[in-house]
């Protein structure tokens, strides 16, 4: 009986490894096919549906948020394997501080736990060489979370393969207001310095006349929180919602919005693939020596559909063993 139990346990372990290896190889093959076309340089995510996921499955909200975090890690891993250089996640908006105090406190505790996990040697940011930036009005965070965020940014400063921007205590209106105020303050200091120079030289220079003009667009963009990265190519918001919810309003004027109906903890590889395919279809680019990807996109889309259909039974088997 003991021998049979050991054999069954060994068989299950072997099956899990085989299924896991099959999925990894097929995913890499899928990404190689997808890389024939242009890959988005920057993908942003709005993490919508964690509480509804908990309600749907009759589990605690805390469990729903943790499931959402696991989905974030999967999406980031897929993006880095695919070659996406910049990823942004909307983790916590300023308006979220208006939620129930116990919910806000739990989210802060969860955020602290996950931030501290980011700087561990075996974390995804070190595995893939990802530099982390926390963007937003970080002064609104409690001291423990703010200090942990600063440590994570410092710990990953030498990572150069990709960049992860985590928006916390963030709204786009606050970002724009901050950029305008910072630009005005910078301009005022420059004018004061020129006034001091004029008092010494006794003349009004062309440089000062130029500075007295209105603030330029480039000045404001330089002071935005998201000035660390190029504008997103794709914005993914789950739950089928098409609202931006005060997120990256300045930066998403020309990016693709993809809104799968699944709740965020349910998002998977196929949703990322469809988002990239839509990007390739709607925004054709030239590559190589002037060759156009547009002509082969229909064939590429068909082939991707075939591969994904082939992956479904493998993924179903993997889920079965994971549940065991």
Catalytic residue ranges: 48
CA distances from 264 to 58, 79, 260 (A): 16, 16, 9
CA distances from 69 to 50, 64, 228, 236 (A): 9, 9, 24, 16
SS3 214: coil
- List all residues 6 or more positions away from 5 whose beta carbon is below 8 Å from its beta carbon: none
Per-residue b/e over 213-232, b at no fewer than 16 CB within 10 Å?
eeeeeebbeebbbbeebebb
47 secondary structure, DSSP code: -
Q: What is the CA radius of gyration of the chain?
A: 24
The 10 Å Cβ neighbour count of residue 64 is 22
Tokens of 98: 């208006």
- List all residues 6 or more positions away from 22 whose beta carbon is below 8 Å from its beta carbon: 314
Q: 3-state SS of the chain: helix, strand, coil percent to 5? A: 60, 10, 25
SS3 243: coil
């Amino acid at each position: 009986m003991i021998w049979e139990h050991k054999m069954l346990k060994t068989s299950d372990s072997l099956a899990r490894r085989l299924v896991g290896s099959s999925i990894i190889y097929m995913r890499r093959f899928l990404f190689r096919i997808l890389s024939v076309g242009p890959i988005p340089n920057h993908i942003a995510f709005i993490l919508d549906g964690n509480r509804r996921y908990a309600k749907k499955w009759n589990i605690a909200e805390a469990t729903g948020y943790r499931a959402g975090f696991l989905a974030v890690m999967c999406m980031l891993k897929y993006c880095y394997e695919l070659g996406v250089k910049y990823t942004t996640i909307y983790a916590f908006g300023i308006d979220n501080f208006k939620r129930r105090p116990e919910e806000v406190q739990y989210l802060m505790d969860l955020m602290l736990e996950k931030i501290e996990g980011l700087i561990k040697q075996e974390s995804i940011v070190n595995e893939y060489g990802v530099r982390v930036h926390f963007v937003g009005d970080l002064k609104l965070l409690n001291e423990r979370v703010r200090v942990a965020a600063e440590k994570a940014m410092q710990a990953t400063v030498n990572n150069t393969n990709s960049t992860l921007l985590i928006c916390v205590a963030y709204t786009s209106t606050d970002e724009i207001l901050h950029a305008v105020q910072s630009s005005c303050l910078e301009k005022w200091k420059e004018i004061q310095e020129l006034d001091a120079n004029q008092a010494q030289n006794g003349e009004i220079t062309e440089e000062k006349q130029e500075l007295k003009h209105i603030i330029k667009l480039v000045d404001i963009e330089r002071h935005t929180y998201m000035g660390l990265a190029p504008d997103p190519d794709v914005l993914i918001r789950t739950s089928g919602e098409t609202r931006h919810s005060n997120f990256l309003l300045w930066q998403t004027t020309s990016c693709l919005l993809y809104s799968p109906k699944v709740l965020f903890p349910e998002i998977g590889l196929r949703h990322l693939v469809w988002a990239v395919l839509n990007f390739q279809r709607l925004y054709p680019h030239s590559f190589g020596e002037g060759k156009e990807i547009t002509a082969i996109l229909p064939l590429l889309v068909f082939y991707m559909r075939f591969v994904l259909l082939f992956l479904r039974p493998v993924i179903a088997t993997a889920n079965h063993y994971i549940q065991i």
